[in-house]
């Protein structure tokens, strides 16, 4: 939770136990750099230091971009995938919108990506089921697993590899 991980070329990234949290994936097909953040809340608390930038949408998105650039990725070429944002707890009538952290997380991530002019390849957000997202960089497959729905392919990342001439 609240982590940011970046890999290049090969490997797998996983976001486990996404209830109201958002698993956010960014991929630069040309460089083969892929990053993932496990975002827990829409925004950092005012007047409190942020120990883990990946915890919040407002700090996690820029921190993920910085890590991708540091690994050799180009933020203008990124495609984005995200999942999670479920309402895992039921609340009384009239309180759901304010207390539905999952919906607020989804809205916050969407807003940050919209500001970037991001190309969103796929998303699977909302509902009442927790999820796990797994991205295999070698195959380009992004899979989502839920307890009720089983496992499905959410999307296929476009892979661009320059062949040696």
- Residues assigned a catalytic role: 21
Contact 85, 105 (CB under 8 A): yes
Do residues 42 and 105 lie in contact, with contact meaning Cβ atoms separated by under 8 Å?
yes
Query: Are residues 108 and 72 in contact, defined by beta-carbon separation less than 8 angstroms?
Result: no
Phi then psi for residue 151, to 5 deg, are -110, 140
- How far is 140 from 147, CA to CA, in rounded Å? 23
CA distance 143 to 119: 19
* Pick from 127, 102, 99, 124: nearest CA to 25: 124
Coil, strand or helix at 107 = helix
d(CA 23, CA 34): 13
Cβ neighbour number for residue 31 with a 10 Å cutoff: 16
């Amino acid at each position: 939770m609240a982590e940011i991980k970046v890999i290049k070329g090969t490997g797998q990234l996983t976001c486990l136990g996404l209830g109201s949290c958002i698993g956010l994936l960014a991929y630069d097909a040309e460089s083969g750099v892929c990053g993932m953040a496990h975002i827990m809340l829409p925004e950092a608390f005012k007047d409190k230091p942020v120990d883990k930038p990946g915890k919040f949408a407002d700090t996690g998105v820029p921190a993920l971009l910085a890590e991708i650039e540091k690994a050799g990725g180009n933020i203008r070429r990124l495609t984005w995938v995200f999942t999670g944002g479920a309402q895992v707890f039921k609340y009384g009538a009239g309180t759901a919108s304010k207390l539905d952290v999952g919906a607020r997380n989804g809205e916050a991530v969407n807003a940050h990506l919209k500001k970037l002019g991001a190309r969103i390849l796929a998303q699977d957000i909302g509902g009442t089921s927790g999820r796990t997202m797994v991205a295999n960089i070698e195959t380009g497959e992004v899979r989502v697993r839920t307890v009720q729905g089983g496992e499905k392919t959410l999307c296929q990342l476009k892979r661009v590899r320059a062949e040696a001439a």
